[in-house]
């Protein structure tokens, strides 16, 4: 098993569209690449819902075989726990669950492994960055000033951990016409990868939807990571 590039996608703020962006970009990248998704949000997993799969993964010699959908390999705690079951776990158990997904999943050879990161900057982040050699991080933000404030905390953390920031995605879900103040991103030399406007097929995720924005972003990712 070989993974060429590992890219984490996230923000300290929840509800900014990280999971939907991850899934949509994975679909675009998978047209010409072998792609996997690691859903690292143990408390609120979404990838199994976005790809409409409630299949339990198979186990082979203590390894977890990821679910395959749309040609994408997916592993999520949502496919392991019962649908109504909540992961009411403290930090060590959270880290243990993430480590289990990381080390027990039997991926095929992948060009890209995308990690759908949980909100926050705590145990989950530290575990992932300790256990995996993450090549790049993509930031996701909305226009909301709270989202932008929390994003700055994410950037501070990534800089402390020496994680390369590939760029940021702006999720303009309200289709706001006001000019977006990108001064902070420019001053920190953070590339704008693309902007999503409200799209019903992204909002109520359609895993067969071909998003032009995701296609453009995936091309930039390919160029910047090859």
Q: What is the CATH number of the domain that holds 96?
A: 3.40.50.300
Number of separate domains in the chain: 1
Gap between the Cα atoms of 54 and 82, Å rounded: 9
The SS3 call for residue 116 is strand
Give helix then strand counts, H and E, for the chain. 8, 10
Gap between the Cα atoms of 2 and 112, Å rounded: 10
Q: Is 82 exposed, middle or buried (0-12, 13-18, 19+ CB in 10 A)?
A: exposed
Gap between the Cα atoms of 203 and 187, Å rounded: 31
Q: State phi, psi for 203 to the nearest 5 degrees.
A: -60, -50
- Domain span at residue 142? 3-225
| Residue pLDDT tens, the chain, 226 long | 699 999 999 998 888 999 999 999 999 999 999 999 999 998 889 999 999 998 889 998 889 999 999 999 999 998 887 666 666 666 678 888 899 999 999 999 999 999 999 988 788 899 999 999 999 999 999 888 888 888 899 999 999 999 999 999 999 988 887 778 889 899 999 999 999 999 999 999 999 999 999 999 999 999 999 8
**The residue count for the chain:** 226
Helices (H), the chain: 18-29, 47-50, 91-104, 123-131, 145-160, 183-187, 200-203, 212-225
């Amino acid at each position: 098993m070989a993974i060429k590039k590992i890219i984490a996608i996230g923000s300290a703020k929840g509800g900014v569209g990280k999971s939907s962006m991850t899934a949509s970009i994975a679909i675009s990248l998978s047209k010409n690449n072998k792609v996997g998704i690691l859903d690292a949000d143990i408390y609120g997993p979404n990838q199994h819902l976005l790809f409409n799969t409630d299949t339990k993964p198979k186990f082979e010699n203590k390894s977890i075989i990821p679910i395959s959908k749309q040609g994408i390999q997916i592993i999520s705690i949502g496919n392991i726990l019962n649908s109504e079951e909540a992961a009411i776990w403290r930090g060590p158990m959270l880290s243990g669950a993430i480590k289990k997904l990381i080390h027990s999943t039997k991926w095929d050879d992948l060009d890209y492994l995308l990690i759908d990161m949980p909100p926050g900057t705590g145990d989950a982040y530290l575990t992932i960055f300790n256990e995996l050699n993450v090549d790049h991080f993509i930031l996701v933000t909305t226009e909301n000033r709270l989202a932008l404030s929390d994003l700055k905390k994410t950037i501070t953390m990534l800089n402390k951990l020496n994680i390369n920031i590939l760029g940021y995605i702006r999720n303009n879900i309200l289709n706001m016409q006001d000019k977006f103040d990108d001064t902070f991103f420019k001053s920190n030399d953070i590339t704008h990868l693309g902007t999503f406007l409200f799209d019903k097929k992204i909002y109520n995720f359609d895993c067969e939807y071909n998003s032009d924005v995701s296609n453009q972003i995936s091309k930039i990712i390919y160029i910047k990571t090859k």
